Amino acid sequence: MANKIRVTIWHEYRHEKSEEAIRAIYPNGIHAAIKEFLDKHDDLEVRLAALDDPDQGLPDDVLNNTDVLMWWGHMAHHEVNDALVEKIKNRVYDGGMGFLPMHSAHMSKPFRAIVGTSGKLLWSDDQHELIWNVLPAHPITAGIPEYIDLGTEEMYGEPFMIPQPDELLFISWFEHGYVFRSGCTYYRGRGKVFYFQPGHEACRSYYNEYVQKILYNGIKWCAPNDFGAPMHNCDYRKAIL
């Protein structure tokens, strides 16, 4: 890992181009809005990538120089190349890259492949959401109060068909009777994954100061260790003793 954590924010980036109402909220795209608050941190070096960029935004030299990959996708999950998904997965498993899927990325190919899930859940109309902090000792919840009043968000509900998280950080309450495991961490191979639920394109969650702090904390937590000796995976060994 370089001195700065090299973050790439991958974004589907379609809603903002095709819908006036979404563009009004995120004029340069959700990814640019996230970059704006991350850029305030000296220890990060942030790049943008989009589905419609060459190589779907992630040519090898970008992917292989990314420490933490953030991911936002929604209506074009199926357009992401399977070969790219395989590369992303291996970069997490073998290279230790952090992966940070946001909101509707619960159904994205890389999240499902890396973590091992169908990604399925219930969903409903936008409604009032409160996010409860259930693991206050975790570095990702540092500085976060007991609960965040997020205002209006798209409802995502249980049963969320994910593996039991290694650490369950947040549970959300939704106005009309639903709950959701909205912040979950997973160790996978040499890498770490943090899923965080807020971020519907029609809502303003990425302007919320606590959402911003959680994403920053999440990047720091996800960033790869400087590993010790190289890991010689799946190879033959002689007797040590």
Give 56 or 117: the residue with its C-beta nearer to a second copy. Answer: 117
Give 24 or 122: the residue with its C-beta nearer to a second copy. Answer: 122
Least distance to a second copy, CB of residue 16, Å: 24
- Give the residue, chosen from 93, 126, 151, 152, that forms a contact with a second copy under the rule CB under 8 A: 93
- Give just the sign of the alpha carbon dihedral 232, 233, 236, 239: positive
- Give the residue, chosen from 130, 151, 152, 204, that forms a contact with a second copy under the rule CB under 8 A: 130
- Give the residue, chosen from 4, 32, 157, 202, that forms a contact with a second copy under the rule CB under 8 A: 157
Site for a second copy in 197-236 (CB under 8 A): 224-229, 231-236
Least distance to a second copy, CB of residue 130, Å: 5
- Give just the sign of the alpha carbon dihedral 139, 144, 148, 154: negative
Q: Does 99 contact a second copy by CB under 8 A?
A: no
- Give the residue, chosen from 8, 141, 205, 208, that forms a contact with a second copy under the rule CB under 8 A: 141
Type of residue found at 228: G
**Rounded distance between C-alpha atoms, residue 38 and residue 100, angstroms:** 14
What are the tokens at 105?
A: 């990325």
DSSP string, 62-120: HHTT-SEEEEE-SS-GGGS-HHHHHHHHHHHHTT--EEEEBGGGGGSHHHHHHHT----
Q: Does 75 contact a second copy by CB under 8 A?
A: no
The length of the chain, given as a count of residues: 241
Least distance to a second copy, CB of residue 9, Å: 22
**Rounded distance between C-alpha atoms, residue 115 and residue 112, angstroms:** 6
- Give the residue, chosen from 26, 178, 194, 206, that forms a contact with a second copy under the rule CB under 8 A: 178
Pairing relation of β-strands 147-157 and 167-174?
Answer: unpaired
Give 23 or 188: the residue with its C-beta nearer to a second copy. Answer: 188
Q: Does 61 contact a second copy by CB under 8 A?
A: no
